[in-house]
Structure 1
Amino acid sequence: MTHLKIVSFTDRGAALGKRLAALLPDVLTERYDRAGDPSLRQTFLSRFAQQAMVDSGGIVFIGAAGIAVRAVAPYLAGKSLDPAVLVVDEGGRFVIPLLSGHLGGANALAERIAALLGAVPVVTTATDGRGAFAVDTWAKEKGLAVYDPENIKWISAALLRGETVGLASAFPVEGRLPRGVSLSGPAQCGFAIGFDLAAKPFLHTLHLVPRIVHLGVGCRRGVDRARIEAVCAEALRAAGAPLLAVAGVYSVDRKRDEAGLLHFCDAQGLPFTVYTAAQLSAVSGTFSASAFVKETVGADNVCERAAVKGAGGGALICRKTARDGVTAAVAVSDWRVSF
């Protein structure tokens, strides 16, 4: 949790909000004291909730749970999209995660806040209550993207009934499997880890995608976002990797202010990293060398070297794809499933 909005409605609640913000030095906190801040007195709570639901990682309401429910209800977007929403009573006795307990991290945040305040965390999700494996919490911890969050319910329900849940993985699996999860036993539902979003190893399949793919991109000055997007999509198709698996985009430092690249990364919510020509030249491997590129930017290849550098020395799974003044390559980090 990196960005948290704390809203209170009484003087006592405001004091608790101030204390809580001080106890979370690693989190960017914004406090909204609706009782004491004159600038908020003529504003609507619904407008605050609408904005907070899209631009923060979590909201803490210090007050009645009913106020929080009514405030956020019109703006719920979905299990994988909603931020964490919690309620703390103004006395600081109870911390209740209301929304996005697993994927949004509300349950973990509730446990942390309760420990800081000396309060009781009131966690109501069934898997947590029974100590069962929560696949969405595990996926979040491991950096896996959830392609079809509506299928989480099949996994959780089966485990709570004591049934076996299957696991199919395109990557090596390490560690002891959670209770109820099997790599070999028959199962009606299960989760598949890999890049193939059409795979159906189980009747009800939850697809989890490791974000281990790295896009290296080079382009002519002034190339627009649409062309960059098209070539990157072509490279990803050739690599057999979905956009959901991409961890970041990488290029040479001369492209740090390239508008088309920046717009592409912003639209896809991807971090953009640039390297110097010397850093790219130092990457080991066999690459598609170009004398023109070497003369222009100082390294004989941008997209392939940048992709491998971004992947921490990982393997190229798609070499240079070039079209319309854009080059793209795809590398993948070495990764395995761990429990």
Structure 2
Amino acid sequence: MKDNRIAIITVTKNGVVLAKKIKDKEENIDIYTMKKFSEEGLFEIENSLAETVGDIFKKYYGIIFITAIGIAVRVISPYIQKKDIDPCILVVDENGNFIIPILSGHLGGGNELASEIAKKIKALPLITTSSDISGKIAVDTLATKINGRLKDLESAKKVTSLIVAGEKVQIKVPKNISDENPSGVILVSNRENIEITQIIPKNIVIGIGCKKGSLKEKIIFAIKDILKELNISYKAIRVIGTVDVKKDEIGIIESAKYFDVPLKIIQRDEIKKIQDRFEKSEFVEKTIGVTSVSAPCSVLSSEKNGKLLVEKKIYEGITLSVFQEG
């Protein structure tokens, strides 16, 4: 899972000056440059520029090139996959006059990042996506704004094209945002063809306890299975929580990476404060000193009020709980 760090790549002396100016005004920035311009605190481009980009492409939330656009396009082209997983890519001229998002402007946050940095260094952001220049919101931008995930990119693209064209598009909102979370929708319309897409709110918290050495494959299967029974997409998972004694459990760590969500570690002292609300286990209490793990971890990992959909379900040494926020 990528963090929120940003890489700046520059191959000129003036570019280094601008990169340092941006770093002074924006947190979480690493600067990469040629050996002859390198200094303390900067990363040296040891091999070719293309190889360096390949090494860091999946590690950063965004990459800013202080180069010609052609250079940026050529070096990123072998590594581009899909807009929902690619980092945002921006290009800035070395005088700091213009900032242009060229990849992942919506889902990757490139347009927003360009606007933020432009304000700080007094540059002009050149946004080229049609929804932005028309003053309308794209479906993938909406998903990002509400911390949701797109069910699929193709339907989102089709509905966005309707928005840009000025067609009437309705938003149907579930309980997590208003007052219902439907399993089905009846749409009354005389249109022969209607484009429909779905944004999945990230409002599910998984609490987990397991035997030492539990395999990630079994944990992943268990999580998918319990959510399938609830008719909930695994894309709705916002965080996975577990107890402090399991903080180094590889299966749990790798499962969180698989679902691309953070792993929250809950201290036993916190669990003890609410453990009486849940089903107790003498074995767990004798082993680690608390009477329950997965259920309190799911509740304590949440940032909002909600309800426990499943207090406890056991899968071959793996115990899961499901909490829904909102």
Task: Output the amino acid matched with 2:311.
Answer: R
Shift in CA distance, 16/305, structure 1 to aligned 2, threshold 3 Å: same
Q: Give the equivalent residue in structure 2 for 1:223.
A: 214
Q: Give the equivalent residue in structure 2 for 1:20.
A: 22
Taking the aligned partners of 2:53 and 2:216, their CA distance within structure 1 comes to: 32
Q: Give the equivalent residue in structure 2 for 1:30.
A: 31
Taking the aligned partners of 1:296 and 1:21, their CA distance within structure 2 comes to: 48
CA displacement at 1:186 relative to structure 2: 4.2
CA displacement at 1:40 relative to structure 2: 5.3
Task: Output the amino acid matched with 2:313.
Answer: T
Structure 2 unaligned residues grouped into runs of 5+: 179-185
The question of 1:81 aligning with 2:73 is answered no
- Percentage of identical aligned residues: 28
Q: Give the equivalent residue in structure 2 for 1:319.
A: 311
Taking the aligned partners of 1:251 and 1:318, their CA distance within structure 2 comes to: 16
Structure that is richer in strand per residue: 1
Structure 1 unaligned residues grouped into runs of 5+: 175-182, 190-201, 335-339
Aligned residue runs from structure 1 range 138-287, under 5 A? 138-171=142-175, 173=177, 186=189, 203-283=194-274, 286-287=277-278
Q: Give the equivalent residue in structure 2 for 1:48.
A: 52
Is the 2:156–2:198 Cα contact (8 Å) retained in structure 1? no
Measured against aligned partners, the alpha-carbon deviations of 1:258-304 in whole angstroms (never above 9, x if no partner) come to: 22222222333332222233322322774222222223222222111
Is the 1:283–1:308 Cα contact (8 Å) retained in structure 2? no
Is the 1:239–1:330 Cα contact (8 Å) retained in structure 2? no
CA displacement at 1:187 relative to structure 2: 8.8
Q: Give the equivalent residue in structure 1 for 2:298.
A: 307
Instruction: State the aligned residue count.
Output: 313
| Deviating more after overlay: 124-133 vs 257-266 | 257-266
Give the SS at the match of 2:33: strand
Q: Give the equivalent residue in structure 1 for 2:64.
A: 60
Give the SS at the match of 1:165: coil
Task: Output the amino acid matched with 2:33.
Answer: Y
| Deviating more after overlay: 256-265 vs 315-324 | 256-265
CA displacement at 1:67 relative to structure 2: 1.0
The question of 1:111 aligning with 2:111 is answered no
CA displacement at 1:96 relative to structure 2: 0.7
Taking the aligned partners of 2:80 and 2:250, their CA distance within structure 1 comes to: 33
Taking the aligned partners of 1:329 and 1:285, their CA distance within structure 2 comes to: 16
The question of 1:121 aligning with 2:125 is answered yes
The TM-score, its normalising length taken from structure 2, stands at 0.87
Task: Output the amino acid matched with 1:267.
Answer: Y
Task: Output the amino acid matched with 1:27.
Answer: N
Is the 2:266–2:301 Cα contact (8 Å) retained in structure 1? no
Is the 2:35–2:46 Cα contact (8 Å) retained in structure 1? no
Is the 2:34–2:45 Cα contact (8 Å) retained in structure 1? no
Q: CA RMSD in A?
A: 2.6
Task: Output the amino acid matched with 1:68.
Answer: A
CA displacement at 1:241 relative to structure 2: 1.9
Shift in CA distance, 284/219, structure 1 to aligned 2, threshold 3 Å: closer
Taking the aligned partners of 1:301 and 1:131, their CA distance within structure 2 comes to: 51
Give the SS at the match of 2:50: helix
Give the SS at the match of 2:285: helix
Give the SS at the match of 2:197: strand
Query: Where do 4+ consecutive residues of structure 1 move more than 3 Å?
Result: 37-42, 183-189
Measured against aligned partners, the alpha-carbon deviations of 1:228-247 in whole angstroms (never above 9, x if no partner) come to: 22322222222322221111
Taking the aligned partners of 1:160 and 1:262, their CA distance within structure 2 comes to: 41
Q: Give the equivalent residue in structure 2 for 1:178.
A: none
Task: Output the amino acid matched with 1:4.
Answer: I
CA displacement at 1:250 relative to structure 2: 1.3
The question of 1:331 aligning with 2:318 is answered no
Give the SS at the match of 2:207: strand
Task: Output the amino acid matched with 1:73.
Answer: S
The TM-score, its normalising length taken from structure 1, stands at 0.84
Shift in CA distance, 188/157, structure 1 to aligned 2, threshold 3 Å: farther
CA displacement at 1:310 relative to structure 2: 1.7
Is the 1:8–1:14 Cα contact (8 Å) retained in structure 2? yes
